[in-house]
Structure 1
Amino acid sequence: KKAEQRAAIEAEQQKNYERKKEIIDKIIEMGSDVDNANRFFQQVRDLQNEFKEIGEVPAPVAADLWKSYQDAVEKFYDQLKINKELRDYDFKKNLSEKELLVAEADKLRAEEDVITAFRRLQELHEQWRSIGPVPKEVREEIWGRFKDISAEINKRYQTFFEERKARERENELAKEALCERIESYEFDKLSTYAAWDEMTKLIIAAQEDWKKIGYASRKSNNALFARFRETCDKFFAAKAEFFRGMKDTLSRNLEKKIALCERAEALKDSTEWRKTADELAALQKEWKTIGAVAKKHSDQVWRRFLAACDYFFEQKKKNNSGTRRTERANLEQKNEIIDKLKALDLETLGRENAIKAVKDLQAEWQSVGHVPFSEKDNIYEAYRAVVNELYQKLDISQRGSRMASFENTINEIGNDENRLYRERERLMRVYEQRRSELQTYENNMGFLSAKSKNAGSMLKDMERRMQRLKDDIADLEKKIAVIDSKL
């Protein structure tokens, strides 16, 4: 269809060309008949009007045709010396029209839209060509003014496109860098939700950066976007596949934990204290070997399992509650230890002897058995307060202080296996969380390459965070080992 339209346009332009050629030939013919110049004047004017009304001609011959027309008209007026008043009137009218075009062109200098100014200038040039000659004495001057203004606008137009080309090149380089950035991310080895979440943040950040960059050149913009989108699509497809696989794993883990809940609930009313305690302890150990479940079920299934275990051990504890006198005596002994700690004269003993005295009293505290449950928290708070004060005065490591505090807490629990298992389960969850966070940082360390901007400062910050996580993991391993030694 476009080919047919183009052929029709070309045919029309050729027809216009042939008619304009005939008009030029007639004007030349009339211009050669000097005796009948006045009689031909109106006919020439009519031919000029017809010439102006005829549409476009083929571009390759337009300039030559226009020059032939101008030459024919000028020769008719100049060489054949028609009526001077009519000629002067026509020249004056043409001059007035061209002055208006010059004024219109001059206004375009203030036009902020360079493309609009350029297109309007082309229209003015078309009108200029359709206007007849002006007096010879001003012909060069008025054309020079029009030409100078046109040159200025054309230069602005050229500069605009050169600057746009430079901006497009900058955008092209920026988009290439973004493509290289996300292509450097290794997401085929991610194995945890946290790692996938961190990587998702990086991908989304890259997509936001992409939106802030303007267009590149037409030939490269689409190709770069296809390249960028391909990597993003690969990532989200891989993420979806991982989550589908994890969903199946979480579902299987939930089934296993529900089965343990049912077994624990079947044992909770048993009065075979030793045997059932061992069986529940075995179930608790088996629970630890089962992986995570979906977050929406995690707390619910854990509370169900814990409720069954707590119920049994609470009944077992009530059955073995004949220890109140011993607990009261233990309370008095622990109060005496607190008084001894308060009475330590640090200046007289010296730092090393004072530290030894504190450690000895702490060891004595740990050797004392349970106190009444209603007094447990109060006595321990009083003990911890005086120990913390002594540690501060003696400048003993806070980490060591926290560890000693934890050991005291475990000693307070004593042989209550149910509470020990619950504390161990809590520590294991924190331990796995810290390990997952550490793995995420280690994965992210691999994402940062030499190509990454600000890689140095980010690496240092990540290394500091990783070291803190490693210290926490080491402390957790020691605490878990303390509990294991009691089980």
Structure 2
Amino acid sequence: MDSNEINDSLTEVPEDKAPETSVSPITAEEETPVLDVKQKMEKIIERLKEINNDPCNADKSELNQLKQSFYKTLKYNQDTLYKEYLEAGGAPESYKMVANDYENQFKEIMSSIKEKRNEMLAVEDKDKEENLRRKLEIIEKLKVLSESTEDSNRAYNELKKLQQEWNEIKGIPQAKSNEIWNSYQIYVEKIYDIIKLNNEFREYDFKKNLEIKLHLCEAAEKLEDEEDVISAFHQLQKLHQEFRETGPVSKDLRENVWNRFKTASTAVNKRHQQHFDELKDKEQRNLDEKTVICEIVESMEYDSFKSFQDWDNKTQEILALQAKWKTIGYAPQKMNVKIFERFRTACDEFFSKKGEFFKGLKENMSNNLEKKKELCEKAEALKDSTDWKETAALLTNLQKEWKSVGPVPKKQSDAIWKRFISACDYFFAEKNKNSSSKHSVEITNLELKKEIIEKLNAINAKEVAEESDEETIKGLIKEWSNVGHVPFKEKDKLYNKYHDIIDKLFTKLNISSSQKKLSSFKNSINSKESNLYREREKLSRQYENLKNDLQTYENNLGFLSSSSKKGSSLLTEMNRKVEKLRSDLDLILEKIDIIDRSIQEEIDKEDNQ
């Protein structure tokens, strides 16, 4: 490997690796090192120390691999420390990066290798200048020899001596290489062509040179099948050097031999250029993909995030985008660091806004907790009332007021809700117990529902279902839903029979899953007594959460559709989620409508009593 190439590699910054070691928000999983962090860093430093003992034979690819591996391990260590810090309750904006002693050792050794290489380069440059001087002297001797008319045998022997001396001299400055070589070749060929050499010597030398050059042509042609394009290109450079150093062949073969070698060289060089063109195109595609991700994060509408769920949903999206970023390769070198800084800035802004939101929300939740405690006290003061109608209306209003109050701290959310709903449930349970006509109505309802089950059994007994059966079943289901409560002891047995026959008919008539869920919900509502308000509250909360989710996905879906086709990998999944959310929202609205009708029926019954 050329010493300049190795020395250049020592100053390279590992693309997309070194800059990311300081990024705290990115927490997506990476490939875990085989060894633990300490062992791996120590192993890399040990290998660098070995290279530092003999930098003249350093291998560029190994140095690059060691650098990438070191910075990848360093980043993994820093991400792990940051994750542990967050899990321990630390705030992202307060995190400080922990210094790493191995990084300082790594930089010192790499600097030492570079310094030694620079010293070696200085010596090499001096040697190349001396080699240039010696080759110029040989060219002068060849010039004199080409103009001499002395004995051809003596001239031939002198020529071979000068050629051997020329081949023993190593590299010269690259800028003079072609010029010196051309001058050398001109005088050598002139000597062969002009002076009257002995035909036997001349033909022997031409034959020997022809064998060597044909062998070099074959070697160059085989390089076209070499899988490693870079290796093939470097091997070709060595073949070119050997071709130059080999003497001429007979005049009638010179052009053919050179054209054959040139054709093979062109094929290898074309593959080499194509490889870098493809690499450039791939890096541009990577930049396009990363730009789309940056635009998605930068387009966040922070003013629309009003709840825990909003921020949690967006956090999952950010983490998914960060994981996607990790799977994308390097962008073009000039843009690689810039696009990463853009992405990191957008992520930092998101997590900063999230921190501000939760800080303000914490204060609001404390106020909400006090409001809900007051509502609990009011509900508990009303739970023993026997003024059924007026108290039911008051408790219903309290439940509506409860919905208008925002969230409370998560640790107290369940407890305060159970306290409030327990007071409401107690009142409505007592209210139902005091309904004088309840028992007789339940007996009547029991007989009506038994008749419905018998009708359903009759339909199921048919060998072949008729088209009208589906409408009949729907009518019986609606009739069942309209029938009120049955005696508690008979309830489970009766409902089991009903559900068994309905399941069979659903399977037989292939009634849709959503109809089945809705019918099942109607039956479960009829089996409840005083929990309608609590069930409605639960469904309302589910509806609002799903509605927020739908809005989030629709916003992102619209952005992806209008921005770039690069987001197509996310588009399909988002469309599927949007359709599912819309279906779930429609089903919840139907359930709420059923509950509202049931509540109104209860109120109408009370007004008639």
> What TM-score comes out, normalization by structure 1 length?
0.68
Does the 8 Å CA contact 1:260/1:283 hold for their aligned counterparts? no
In structure 2, which of residues 271, 284, 287 is the aligned counterpart of residue 156 of structure 1?
A: 271
Cα deviation for residue 293 of structure 1 reads 4.2
Does the 8 Å CA contact 1:168/1:216 hold for their aligned counterparts? yes
- Unaligned 5+ segments in structure 1 are 345-358, 387-396, 414-419
Does the 8 Å CA contact 2:371/2:405 hold for their aligned counterparts? yes
Instruction: Give 1:439's aligned amino acid.
Output: N
Q: 1:86 to 1:252 in 2, by over 3 A?
A: farther
Q: Radius of gyration: which is bigger?
A: 1
Cα deviation for residue 427 of structure 1 reads 2.4
2:396 and 2:335 map into 1 onto residues whose CA distance is: 65
Q: Secondary structure at the match of 1:125?
A: helix
The reply to whether residue 196 of structure 1 matches residue 307 of structure 2 is no
2:585 and 2:423 map into 1 onto residues whose CA distance is: 38
Deviations 1:103-142 (A, max 9, x none): 2112112212222222211110011111122233322222
Does the 8 Å CA contact 1:250/1:292 hold for their aligned counterparts? yes
Does the 8 Å CA contact 2:525/2:595 hold for their aligned counterparts? no
2:343 and 2:359 map into 1 onto residues whose CA distance is: 25
Cα deviation for residue 20 of structure 1 reads 0.6
Residue of structure 1 equivalent to 2:209: 94
Bigger Cα displacement from structure 2, 447-456 vs 7-16? 447-456
Deviations 1:263-319 (A, max 9, x none): 999x99x9x8769x98x96997686665444556544554566678888999x89xx
Instruction: Give 2:538's aligned amino acid.
Output: R
> What TM-score comes out, normalization by structure 2 length?
0.57
Q: 1:360 to 1:222 in 2, by over 3 A?
A: closer
1:118 and 1:290 map into 2 onto residues whose CA distance is: 73
RMSD between superposed Cα atoms in Å: 5.2
Q: 1:476 to 1:438 in 2, by over 3 A?
A: farther
The reply to whether residue 451 of structure 1 matches residue 562 of structure 2 is yes
In structure 1, which of residues 412, 422, 431 is the aligned counterpart of residue 540 of structure 2?
A: 431
1:94 and 1:141 map into 2 onto residues whose CA distance is: 14
The reply to whether residue 118 of structure 1 matches residue 233 of structure 2 is yes
Cα deviation for residue 426 of structure 1 reads 3.7
Residue of structure 1 equivalent to 2:131: 16
Instruction: Give 1:76's aligned amino acid.
Output: I
Cα deviation for residue 22 of structure 1 reads 0.8
Q: How does 1:53-72 map to 2 (within 5 A)?
A: 53-72=168-187
Does the 8 Å CA contact 1:114/1:157 hold for their aligned counterparts? yes
The reply to whether residue 139 of structure 1 matches residue 277 of structure 2 is no
Q: 1:480 to 1:198 in 2, by over 3 A?
A: farther
Cα deviation for residue 63 of structure 1 reads 1.6
Bigger Cα displacement from structure 2, 51-60 vs 26-35? 26-35
Q: How does 1:346-385 map to 2 (within 5 A)?
A: 374=489
Does the 8 Å CA contact 1:118/1:154 hold for their aligned counterparts? yes
Instruction: Give 1:141's aligned amino acid.
Output: N
1:38 and 1:343 map into 2 onto residues whose CA distance is: 127
1:122 and 1:102 map into 2 onto residues whose CA distance is: 13
Q: 1:262 to 1:5 in 2, by over 3 A?
A: farther
Bigger Cα displacement from structure 2, 111-120 vs 202-211? 202-211
Residue of structure 2 equivalent to 1:45: 160
Does the 8 Å CA contact 2:518/2:587 hold for their aligned counterparts? no
Deviations 1:151-173 (A, max 9, x none): 22222333333343344444433
Identity of aligned residues (%): 36
Q: Secondary structure at the match of 2:247?
A: coil
1:160 and 1:60 map into 2 onto residues whose CA distance is: 27
Q: 1:182 to 1:5 in 2, by over 3 A?
A: same
Does the 8 Å CA contact 2:290/2:325 hold for their aligned counterparts? yes
1:300 and 1:469 map into 2 onto residues whose CA distance is: 26
Deviations 1:139-193 (A, max 9, x none): 2222222122212222233333334334444443343334334434434421223
Q: Secondary structure at the match of 2:304?
A: coil
2:444 and 2:589 map into 1 onto residues whose CA distance is: 39
- Unaligned 5+ segments in structure 2 are 1-114, 456-477, 502-514
Cα deviation for residue 14 of structure 1 reads 2.7
Q: 1:472 to 1:4 in 2, by over 3 A?
A: farther
